Amino acid sequence: MARYEVIIIGGGPAGLTAGLYTSRAGLKSLLLEHGALGGQMVNATLVENYPGFPEGIAGPELGSLMHQQAVRYGLEVVTAEVIGISQEQPYYSISTTEGSLEASGVIIAAGSEYRKLGVAGEERLSGRGVSYCATCDGFFFRNREVAVAGGGDTAITDALELSQHASKVYVIHRRDQLRAGKALQERAFAHPKLEFIWDTVVEEVSGDKVLEELKLRNVKTGQQSNLKVNGVFVAIGLMPNSRSFFNIMELDDAGYIVIDETMATSAPGIFAAGDIRRNSPRQIAAAVGDGVTAAMSAFKYVQEQGNGTRITSP
């Protein structure tokens, strides 16, 4: 069984930063990622609020640069999905789709995934009119009518982006006012292509081979209606990818990992960073900071356990 001093789970900005710091500190480090390196930021056409890029930078490019930098300092990267973690003193055993590994310390930066509507037809028509990424799929709906489910920053940002392609964008929100920031709201209300459907939820997604219609319900009156659209973009929040870790550490009621100020979890030697931790602001810059803190804490833990002698620090 391959053994590392630190194994990092997740290849988003938190995980890549943690890998950079542990590798530069001389720890034998491995990063496990089952999807695209870069995490959620690869879906961003332009990242405008990350320090150091006054003109902005494409999300995939930023992810690629972080990866290159971490690998340059010795981080190993393996494509695999983590199934679970168990403690076998003095190491942690990490079960993956590519086999089992051992580590003295673990950093969980597995991020989050898009929350689904959970209605009939959603899974069947996913990729056939049902989408969770306006940046990825908006172009395919040029000159067509689409809907966005949600009322937060992500939903309104998606609606505004889709307006560049679609002929009409319906915003379906279960409340009578948006949760998005004031600036986004002002832009949205002023946009001629956006139409708002208040106090309403999607109850079913229907169509033969592709999406053709949404079945809606007004949450106040109970009145049902149908809306013919070619696409629906679901933007109702994220869910932490913590299913594989519930048996070994404390999670809050929403499934986020509970940590302290050092990013330490309730399991000694396991740290969490980025969107998967409780109270994360879900920003790239914050995830990077989490990754630094988690790496430094893991470095200290490995030293104290006597599982490696180090003369440098992160």
- In DSSP terms, 126 is beta-bridged to 130
DSSP string, 142-209: TTSEEEEE--SHHHHHHHHHHTTT-SEEEEE-SSSS--S-HHHHHHHHH-TTEEEE-SEEEEEEE-SS
User: Tokens 């809907």 label which residue?
Assistant: 147
Cα separation, 140 vs 164, whole angstroms: 12
- In DSSP terms, 234 is beta-bridged to 149
Residue 137 annotated in active site = yes
Residues 6+ apart with CB under 8 A from 174: 151, 199, 200, 201, 219
Q: Which of 136, 176, 252, 260 is flagged as catalytic?
A: 136
Task: Return the SS3 of 49.
Answer: coil
Torsion of CA 43, 190, 56, 111, to 10 degrees: -30
Cα separation, 296 vs 290, whole angstroms: 10
Sign of the torsion formed by the C-alpha atoms of 226, 135, 48 and 13:
positive
Residue 253 annotated in active site = no
Contact 85, 248 (CB under 8 A): yes
Residue 136 annotated in active site = yes
Task: Give the residue from 153, 169, 178, 189 showing the smallest Cα distance to 44.
Answer: 153
Give the residue numbers marked as catalytic.
133, 136-137
